[in-house]
Amino acid sequence: MKMQDIKTLITSGTIILAVALYMIFGRSPAEDQSTKSVTDQQGTITIEQVEEKTGNKRFEIDYIKAYDGDTIQAIINGEKRKIRLLMVDTPEMNYNKGGAQPYAEEAKEYTINLLEKAKKIEAVYDVGPETDNYDRLLAYLFVDNVLLQESLLNEGLAVVRYIHKPNNTFEDAFRDIQEKAQDAKLNIWSHEDYYQKDGFHPEVVQ
């Protein structure tokens, strides 16, 4: 066999090996992130803790759709109901008032992505009223055992807001989670003064 043939074989073999290794191990971080499901996340607030501290039991829901990052529609005991996530607020989509606020689309898509991939979605009430003035259910929502409120706060896509005692059992824990996102300047927190005590200020971002 000629030396040139040997070199060709070695080169071809190396390329084939490289392609095989890439197909097995070569997923980029971006690809991993895009396919990451809520079951890959680790929450600090467990559904068992919520049940213990509120005295309420979990119940399963069937997800239908998300209106925005913090409000969804689901079937509960055969009935369609809106569920508002307790103690968090995401930027408004403003369906009837013009354009969406900054990070509203991202928060909604984040929620949709988790809920559509979920194998199990469960809710737990706090110790106060179970509905708000709009007849929406107020609950902690767990997606494959990970608290959705915590996930949104972790990503800097929601803020701790609308605190109404006694429906605030995990307020301090929520604020601790939010503080980490603030320190990291994630999403909402990447723009100083975008969120203020009276709500979101799109003019700061635009």
Map 35-95 to HEC letters. Answer: CCCHHHCCCCCCHHHHHHHHCCCCEECEEEEECCCCEEEEEECCEEEEEEECCEECCCCCC
CA distances from 12 to 8, 15, 195 (A): 6, 5, 57
Catalytic (active-site) positions = 84, 92, 136
Helix-strand-coil split of the chain, %, nearest 5: 40, 20, 40
